Chains A and B, each alone.
Chain A
Amino acid sequence: MSDVYVMGVDMIKFGRFPDRSVPNIGAEAALMALDDAGLGIQDMQALYCGNLGQANAMVGQRILQEIGQTGMPVVNVANACATGATAFREAWMSIKAGMYDVVLAVGVEQMGKGLLGGAGGGDGIPKEGLLGSGTMPCVFAEAGMEHAKEHGTTFEQFAKISVKNHHHSTMNPKAMYQIETPLDEVMNAEMISYPNTKLMCSVNVDGSAAAVLVSEKKAKELGMGRAVKVRASAMASDPYTDRDLVMPDVNACTRLAAKDAYEQAGIGPEDVNLVELHDCFATAEMLHYENLGLCKDGEAGRMIDEGHVELGGKVPVNVSGGLLSKGHPLGATGIANIYEVCTHLRGEAGARQVEGAKIGMTHVIGLGTACGIHILEKLTKS
């Protein structure tokens, strides 16, 4: 099986674009990724398009109607917040399978404002606020409180994660916000679902990201200069756990996918120089330090207290600003994080550059549940 390389990758600056269409937003990132690869749409053999909000509306084909209808096969995918990673992984797999040498993956989303999720629905009466809450800030608060129960994790420790990611975003011109949020501001912001305040919830934004993936043969033909190798692409769903059906388990499936990813890459967590993980809420990021093996179980609070996960630390996490400040356009997130890691591996991340980064990891969770993990490496010129 051929190794797979990211030859071009880019994202638009996340924001709110109510006057644009979903395909139009996606087309912009697609063209940017093609430019980054030095290729045109006519060079692509297939398109894998991730979008959640219009999952039944042929977004991939409508992107091609804006940038070039070559007749290539198009696959539209939806997998909750793992949608972008799923599109990227399908593209990766098509090259692994030997079907294609050059394919395009696009992730795009246009979001409304406000709360996501909600319990119940269906027949009868609304269940939200009657049988607990199905809102996302609450569901992830419950997951964080489970960690608090087991390890004594505090509200302040969760809040520090948001301080860190907002700080990182001040160095990322493509983030939705570039604003410092001191600890007291985070902790005193409107409480949404304890322990997640408003500043500890990801930002609903519109956005898109895209990547051109190529086979090793094609990479050599085009020149390896800025190519980034995909060392692992792993995906898992939630295995059975006792509470899974009432309390979505984001831990078990992350651990499954991480184990697979490390095995594929033949490396361990200690070899990873930076991580972009799914900080949909500050409480979620805490869990994934342990789930991804960045520290031992029970040590996540120490990771944030001692600065190991900030820029300049042992393993910087979410130097892009993360979903908390860069923003979380659901279908785009799983490719935007690949853009971030590739940018560091290429040494092109400017003020937020993780110095000497050779290997990076991306992680997304789609509740329901899907976990997608990628490990990327920049080969040094030989």
Chain B
Amino acid sequence: MSETKPLPVVDYLKIPDNGDPYLEGYRCKKCGATYLGERNVCSKCFARDEMEIIKLSETGILHSYAIVFRSFPGIDVPYISAIVDLDGGGTIKGNLINIDPDPDKIEFNMPVKITYGDALGRKDKEGNSYLSYFFEPA
């Protein structure tokens, strides 16, 4: 019996049958604006049907962050909520891991890379496992 393939945590996380997972973006051919997830119209330049599908970069820099000490019940804290500007375009939000949640240790513009892993053990009502993305220092 083959192991059940995990589901993607968001629809712009792609898990090919053969090959590594990656994040998919939509880029406007007119103005270069980059979006997460599918869209047909550019909200920057208003061009229609000019989107191309791209594979987003797996490296970037830390633009901003917060360290979350209070979240909803059942969610492990503290953790770092990070805003990352990807090399080559696109901004994405996620958890920054493998670094102390300490403002003295975290540097703005530090290089980070995307890693993929199980979604902290969270499962949906049907018991399916999920694959998520994380950032870690590069």
Residues of A within 8 A of B (CB): 115, 118, 123-133, 135, 137-139, 141-143, 145-146, 148-149, 155, 190-196, 240, 242-243, 245-247
Q: Are A145 and B94 closer than 8 Å at their CB atoms?
A: no
Q: Which of B14-22, B50-58, B77-85 contacts A (4 or more CB under 8 A)?
A: B77-85
Please report the number of residue pairs spanning A and B whose Cβ atoms sit closer than 8 angstroms: 130
Interface string of B98-136 (1 = CB under 8 A from A): 000001000011000000000110111000001011000
Contact B68–A129 (Cβ < 8 Å)? yes
A and B contact pairs by CB, cutoff 8 A, 24 listed: A124-B130, A125-B119, A125-B123, A125-B124, A125-B130, A126-B75, A127-B9, A129-B77, A131-B93, A135-B71, A138-B66, A139-B66, A142-B64, A143-B64, A145-B66, A193-B66, A195-B66, A196-B66, A240-B33, A245-B35, A246-B91, A246-B93, A247-B64, A247-B91
Which chain B positions have C-beta within 8 A of A194?
66-69, 103
Contact among B36, B64, B71 with A146 in the assembled complex (CB-CB below 8 Å)? B64
Once the chains are docked, how many angstroms separate the CA of A115 from the CA of B81?
A: 16
Task: Give the shortest distance, in Å, between B47 (CB) and chain A (any CB).
Answer: 12
CB-CB nearest in chain A for B45? A240
Question: In the complex, which residues of chain B have a beta carbon less than 8 angstroms from the beta carbon of A128?
Answer: 71-72, 75
What secondary structure prevails in chain A residues at the interface with B? loop
Identity of the chain B residue whose Cβ is nearest the Cβ of A150 in the assembled complex? B108
Q: Known interface pairs A129-B76, A245-B35. Does A124 touch B7 (Cβ–Cβ under 8 Å)?
A: yes
Q: In the assembly, what is the distance between CA of A193 and CA of B101, in Å?
A: 11
User: Which residues from 12 to 35 on chain B have a C-beta closer than 8 Å to any C-beta of chain A?
Assistant: 33, 35
**With a CB–CB cut-off of 8 A, which chain A residues contact B63?**
146, 149, 243, 247
A62 to nearest B CB, angstroms? 31
Report whether B9 and A125 are in contact in the complex, using a CB–CB cutoff of 8 Å.
yes
Which one, A118, A155, A190, A243, contacts B70 given CB within 8 A?
A190
Nearest neighbor of A240 in chain B, beta-carbon distance: B44
- Provide the bound-state CA to CA distance between A155 and B75, in Å: 25
Chain A residues whose CB sits within 8 angstroms of the CB of B94 once the complex forms? 130-132
Chain B residues closer than 8 Å to A141, beta-carbon distance: 66-67
Q: Which residues from chain A contact B36 at a C-beta distance below 8 Å?
A: 245-246
Q: Would you call B67 and A129 a contact (CB within 8 A)? A: no
- Min CB–CB distance A42 → chain B (angstroms): 47
Q: Which of B's residues lie within 8 Å of A, judged by CB?
A: 7, 9-10, 33, 35-36, 43-44, 63-72, 75-77, 79, 81-83, 85, 91-95, 103, 108-109, 119-120, 122-124, 130, 132-133
Residues on A with C-beta less than 8 A from B65 are: 142, 145
Find A142's partner among B72, B83, B130 (CB 8 Å cutoff): B83
The chain A residue sitting closest to B67, CB to CB, is: A194
Q: How far is the CA of A127 from the CA of B132 in the complex (A)?
A: 10
- Complex interface: chain B residues within 8 A of A142 (CB): 64-66, 81, 83
Residue numbers in A under 8 Å from B9 (CB-CB): 124-125, 127, 130-131
Interface centre among A146, A193, A196 (most CB of B within 10 A): A193
- Whether B91 and A130, one on each chain, are in contact in the complex, defined by CB atoms closer than 8 angstroms, is no
Cross-chain contact A129 with B64 (CB below 8 angstroms): no
Q: State A118–B73 Cα separation when bound (angstroms).
A: 12
A110 to B131 alpha-carbon distance, docked (Å): 39
Closest to A196 in B: B66
Residue of B nearest to A146 (CB): B64
- Which of B44, B72, B122 is the one whose CB lies under 8 Å from A125? B122
B130 engages A132 (CB within 8 Å):
no
Q: Pick the 4 closest A-B CB pairs, nearest first.
A: A141-B66, A132-B81, A129-B75, A194-B67
Given known pairs A194-B103, A240-B44, the reply for A130 and B66 (CB within 8 Å) is no
Excluding A131-B93, A190-B69, A243-B85, 14 further A-B contacts by CB distance (< 8 Å) are A115-B70, A124-B7, A124-B124, A129-B68, A129-B79, A130-B122, A130-B132, A131-B9, A131-B94, A131-B132, A148-B108, A193-B66, A193-B69, A247-B93
